[in-house]
Amino acid sequence: MHFKKIAVIGAGTMGSGIAAQIANAGLDVLLLDLAAKNADLIMPADAAVERLVKSDPPQLVSKKVVKQIHTGTIEHDFNHLADYDWIIEAVVERLDIKKHIYSKLNDIIKPECIVTSNTSSIPIAHLMENMPVRFQERFAITHYFNPVRYMRLLELVVGEHTKDELVNKLSQFNDVVLGKGVVKCNDTPGFLGNRLGVYAMQVGLFEALKHRIPIDDADAILGRPMGIPKTGVFGLYDLIGIDLMSDVVTSMREILPDEDAFQKVGTDPDIITKLIQSGYTGNKGLGGFYAETKSGKKVRDLLADNEDDDIWRDINPLPEIAEKAALAQSQQEEALLVLIQDNSNYGVFARSVLAHIFCYAGQLLGSITTNPQDIDDAMKLGFNWQRGPFEMIDAIGAENLQILISDAGLTMPNALQIDRPFYQIENNHISVLDTIKGYVGVSLPVGSFRLQILRRTLPVLAQNNDASCYQIENDMRLVEFHSKANALRPQTIEILKYVADNPGRGVIIHNDAQHFSAGVDLNHFRALIETKKWQEIDDFLAEFQQAVVALKYLNVPVVGAPSGLAIGGGFEVLAHCDALVAHVNSTFGLVESGVGLLPAGGGVKQTYLRWFNKTGDWNQAAWQCWMQIGYGKIGTSPELSARYCYFLDDRDVQVMNKDRVFLQAVSLNENLQKSYLPPAKPAFRLADPQIRKKMFEFMEKGVTEGMFTPHNLTTAMAIADVIVAKDGEQQNVSEQDIFNRERENFIRLARTPETLRRISTLLDSGQAEDN
C-alpha cells in the first residue's frame, strides 16, 4: 500500500498543502517548482515551505515534520523523478503546461510509477489526449480540497485506460495514510464536490441579492440552520478569496454545457466585480463582504439608501427564522422544517435556495454518479456540510420537496421522482437508493465508521437534547455529545452519570461533529453569574467533577475518541479517560484563563498530576501546571499536545483518518478489557509556599511592565491556590481536596465583575461560536 518515494510538482497553495499532508503522515516528499527568477530570490519551493511553517491554521502537525519536505527546481531536479513511485502534478490550471509535464515524465519515469493530477476542473480525457496508452494506464486525477490538512475530501477520477489496481492502491493509501475520504467520480466537468458546492454558493449569492436579504442575515440562514458552516455563503466567499471564487466560477462556466443549470448563476454580479477592482478580495485583502475593524467585525450594507457600496455596519442579531431553527436544533427537532414553513421573505429566500440545491443534486444523480451517498459524502467531506442534499431531502420528506420545487418554478428531476427515502434502515443495516442497483449498503472502507450515518442503527439506552448513550457491539457503551458546539450542560452531565452507572463492558466517548467539545456552556455560566446563583454554580461543578471521577474509577475501561477542538471542560472529560484515540487534527487545551476563570472539572488536578508523573517533583509540577493553565496553552495536534501532557505518548494513539478513530477506539478498549484494573487513587501534595511567592512576583512584575492586567494576576493566583500551599497549610491532600479547591477558586473568580465582562465580550463577539 505504501509509496516509498513521492513527489509533488508545483509549490503553490495546493501543491505545498499536499506535500505538507504527506509529511504529516511521516513520509518524505520532494516538492518541485520553477527556479527563482534571479539568484537573489528564494526558490519558490523553499518559499512555499516557509509559508507552511508560518501558516495559521497550521498546515503541519508540528514544525519538525518540515524536515521531511525536500525541495528542488523543475529545471535542475526533474530527472530525479526517474525512480519515484508516485508523482502528483499540481501546477497552474493550464492544459498546455500540464501536458508538457506529462510528456517529459513519460520519457523518464519507471514503468510502475503512478502519475496523478490535482486539477479541479480539467477532464482527464483532455489531460491524456495523445498520451501513450501505457502512460494513461497509470494516470488518474487526485483532486484534494484546500486546506489539504483539514478538508477531508479526495475526488479520485479515473480515465478510460486507468488500471483497477492503481485505483485501489491510491484509494487505500489516501484513506489510511493521508486520512482522506475518497469519492470516486466519473470524468465529468467540475467532477462532483465543486460542481454542486460552487453551484450552491452561487445560488445563495444570487438569491440573497434577488430577495434583498442583508449579507449577515443570509449567512445566518444559509449556515447552521441548514447544517452548513457558520460562514454561510458571503463569509465563505471572503474565506476563499472573492477574486479566486470569481476565477473558479468562470472556469466552471466555461467547461459546463450551455444547458447546465449552473450557467444561470455562473456569472459575477456587479458587486463582485466592484469588490475585486477596489481590492476587497476577502480575508486576504482589505476585507470583502465582512471586515475586521478596531471596533469589531463589520458587514457591508448593500441595502443602504445610497449608491456607495462601501458602507459598513455592525452585525445584526440572529434573524427570527434563524433563532427558531437554532431552538429546534437544540431540542433535536428538524431545523429545515422551520425554514421551509416560514412565510416571511426570509422563508421564501431559504426555500428557493434549498429548492435549487436539491434540484441540481437530482440532475447530477445518474450522470456524475448513480449513488446518492457519493454526492452527500462530497458535500460533507469537501464543504463541511453536516448532511448531504439527499439526506436533507429525506429529512423534509417527499411532499415538502414537491412543494419546494414547484414554488421555485423548477422541474422535478427524474432522480427525485420517487416515493421512497434515499436512505433506509432494514434489519438494523442502513442502505442507500442507487439509481441503477436499487437499495445497496452504505459504502465505507473496512475499518471506517461514521456516527452521523450509522447512529440510526444503534440501540439508544439514554438520550436528551445534549447527549446520548448507545449500546454498541460486545455490550459496550458509546457516549455522544450533540449540543451546540457540543458544549457541556447539565443534561450532558446526566448522560455521563448514566453511563457511569451502566457502563457495560467498556465505554467510548466520541462524536463525529466538527469539534469534540468547546467546553462548558459559557452562556449557562453567564446567566448564573448575572443572577449571582453561586450555589447553583458550585452544584453544577460538583456534579461535573463527580461524573468525570466516576468515569476514571469505573471497573471497565473508558476510551476517549476526539477530533477537532477538545478544550476546557471537553478536555477535562478526556483527561479522566484511560486512553485516547485521537484524530490527528485534534486540538487540546485548558483555556479558561482567557475569560478570567480556571478549569474546575478536574483540569487543574489532572494537569498537576501529569506533570508530577513526568517530573517526579511537586514544585516543578506546580510551576509547569500554573504556567500552562495561566497562559491557556493549547496543542493543535496530538504531537504538539504531548508537550503539555494533554496527550500521553505511552498510552494514547493518533489516527490520520477521522473515520477510523471510532473503531480503533473500540479495539483499544477491548484490549484493555482483557486485564483491566481501575487506576489507584493518587495521593497529592501541595507545592511549597515559596512557589506561591515566586508566582506572585512573576505576575506582579508582568503587571508593572504592562504584560499582564491586574485581573490576570487575580486569575493566576487563584490557579496557584488550587495546587500551592499557603504558609502553615497542610500539604498532603486528597484528590477530592483538589476538586474542592478548584470549585472554591472558580467561584471566587466568577464573583469578580471583570470575569463577567470578559465572558460577555467573548459571547457577544461571536468568537466563542467561531471556535
Phi, psi of 509 (to 5 degrees): -110, 110
pLDDT of res. 608: 98
Q: Which residue's entry shows cell 455592525?
A: 314
Write b or e for each residue in 335-350: b if 16 or more Cβ atoms lie within 10 A of its Cβ, otherwise e. bbebbbebeeebbbbb
Is residue 214 over pLDDT 60? yes
Is residue 96 over pLDDT 50? yes
C-alpha distances (whole Å) from 766 to each of 39, 45, 294, 522 are 47, 38, 16, 12
452-468: average pLDDT: 95
Is residue 630 over pLDDT 70? yes
Q: In the 8-state DSSP scheme, what is residue 518?
A: -
C-alpha distances (whole Å) from 349 to each of 3, 326, 352, 569 are 49, 18, 5, 38
* pLDDT tens readout for residues 740-750: 999 999 999 99
Is residue 159 over pLDDT 60? yes
Is residue 186 over pLDDT 90? no
Query: Residue 399 in contact with residue 428, Cβ under 8 Å?
Result: no
3-state helix, strand, coil split of the chain in percent (to 5) is 50, 15, 35
* pLDDT tens readout for residues 228-249: 999 999 999 998 899 989 998 9
Helical axes 44-54 vs 13-24, angle rounded to 10°: 60
pLDDT of res. 305: 63
Is residue 341 over pLDDT 90? yes
Higher per-residue pLDDT: 122 or 199? 199
Query: Residue 389 in contact with residue 357, Cβ under 8 Å?
Result: yes
Nearest-10 Cα torsion for 736, 739, 740, 744: 170
542-567: average pLDDT: 98
The amino acid that residue 459 corresponds to is P
337-351: average pLDDT: 96
Using the Cα atoms of residue 80, residue 84, residue 88 and residue 89 in order, give the sign of their dihedral: positive
pLDDT of res. 767: 54
Query: Residue 635 in contact with residue 641, Cβ under 8 Å?
Result: yes
658-683: average pLDDT: 97
pTM score of the predicted model: 0.93
pLDDT of res. 295: 84
What is the pLDDT of the chain when averaged over all its residues?
A: 95
Query: Residue 716 in contact with residue 641, Cβ under 8 Å?
Result: no
DSSP secondary structure string for all residues of 49-73: HHHHHH-SS-SSSSGGGGGGEEEEE
Phi, psi of 100 (to 5 degrees): -65, -40
Cell of 331: 431540542
pLDDT of res. 303: 84
* pLDDT tens readout for residues 476-532: 999 999 998 999 999 999 999 999 999 999 999 999 999 999 999 999 999 999 999
Phi, psi of 516 (to 5 degrees): -65, -55
459-473: average pLDDT: 97
Nearest-10 Cα torsion for 262, 263, 266, 270: -140
Select from 386, 369, 382, 385 the least CA-distant residue to 433: 369
CA gyration radius, the chain = 27
pLDDT of res. 771: 42
Q: In whole angstroms, what is the distance from residue 16 CA to residue 93 CA?
A: 15
C-alpha distances (whole Å) from 376 to each of 355, 393, 443, 542, 698 are 16, 11, 12, 42, 54
* pLDDT tens readout for residues 250-308: 989 998 999 999 999 999 999 999 999 999 999 888 899 999 888 889 999 988 766 56
C-alpha distances (whole Å) from 240 to each of 227, 282, 585 are 19, 7, 21
* pLDDT tens readout for residues 415-448: 999 999 999 998 889 999 999 999 999 999 999 9
pLDDT of res. 769: 52
The amino acid that residue 235 corresponds to is G
The amino acid that residue 396 corresponds to is I
pLDDT of res. 770: 47
Higher per-residue pLDDT: 14 or 40? 14
Is residue 319 over pLDDT 90? yes
Sort 277 into a burial class: Cβ within 10 Å, 0-12 / 13-18 / 19+: exposed
Provide, rounded to the nearest whole percent, the portion of the chain with pLDDT above 90: 91
